[in-house]
């Protein structure tokens, strides 16, 4: 079946199986490697994308469900000022180790920042539920809070 949607501002058309997940279409057909395959059960968040601006786990979506909709990955935010600021704080705070979780966390955080959700460190902890196997979360939370407020969350 043919599906058309907007990927990072560009219209794409791709042939998919009815049971194919968006995660697999993005990684293996459209070669978007920033979208990571982790648990494939909607739990780890490493496959997070933005669907019409909202963070969702792409392993839990069928590609057929995104017909006509807007899908954004980190590649689509490279020129966005807020996104670049967020990445700078991740680097400054040392919030990236192996990097496997990073694209999904950046997208979740960016959406929360856009919506003005982060008034406290606890807001960040609550909103960003993505799993990370390396960092212990403190640096990630600090980087996001800093992007929201300009001050570290320690």
- Beta-carbon contacts of 153 under 8 Å, excluding residues fewer than 6 positions away, are 121, 124, 141, 142, 144, 145, 146
Per rule CB under 6 A, is residue 134 in the interface with ligand FES? Answer: yes
Q: What is the closest distance, in whole angstroms, from the C-beta atom of residue 116 to ligand FES in the complex?
A: 25
The stretch near ligand FES (CB under 6 A) out of 9-17, 33-41, 80-88, 120-128 is 33-41
- The count of chain residues that interact with ligand FES, using the rule CB under 6 A, is 23
Per rule CB under 6 A, is residue 38 in the interface with ligand FES? Answer: yes
CA distance 45 to 112: 15
Q: What is the closest distance, in whole angstroms, from the C-beta atom of residue 83 to ligand FES in the complex?
A: 18
Q: What is the closest distance, in whole angstroms, from the C-beta atom of residue 135 to ligand FES in the complex?
A: 5
Among 39, 82, 91, 129, binds ligand FES (CB under 6 A): 39
Q: Which is nearer to ligand FES, 79 or 134 (CB)?
A: 134
Three-state secondary structure call for residue 19: coil
Per rule CB under 6 A, is residue 98 in the interface with ligand FES? Answer: yes
Per rule CB under 6 A, is residue 57 in the interface with ligand FES? Answer: yes
Among 25, 63, 72, 135, binds ligand FES (CB under 6 A): 135
The beta-strand segments (E) located in 8-139 are: 10-15, 48-51, 54-57, 70-72
The side-by-side arrangement of strands in the sheet containing 2-7 is 10-15, 2-7, 70-72, 48-51, 54-57
Question: Please, are residues 71 and 6 in contact by the beta-carbon 8 Å criterion?
Answer: yes
Q: What are phi and psi of 10, to 5 degrees?
A: -120, 135
Where do contacts with ligand FES occur on this chain (CB under 6 A)?
37-40, 42-47, 57, 59, 96-102, 132-135
């Amino acid at each position: 079946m043919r599906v058309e949607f907007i990927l990072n501002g560009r219209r794409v058309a791709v042939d998919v199986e009815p049971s194919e997940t968006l995660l697999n279409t993005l990684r293996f057909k459209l070669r978007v490697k920033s979208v990571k395959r982790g648990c494939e059960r909607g739990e780890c968040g490493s496959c997070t994308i933005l669907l019409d601006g909202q963070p969702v786990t792409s392993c839990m979506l069928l590609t057929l469900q995104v017909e006509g909709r807007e899908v954004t990955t980190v590649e689509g935010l490279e020129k966005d000022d807020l996104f670049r600021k967020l990445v700078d704080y991740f680097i400054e705070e040392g919030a990236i180790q192996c990097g496997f979780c990073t694209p999904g966390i950046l997208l979740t955080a960016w959406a929360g920042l856009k919506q003005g959700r982060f008034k406290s460190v606890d807001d960040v902890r609550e909103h960003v539920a993505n799993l990370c196997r390396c960092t212990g979360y403190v640096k990630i939370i600090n980087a996001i809070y800093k992007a929201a407020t300009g001050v570290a969350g320690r």
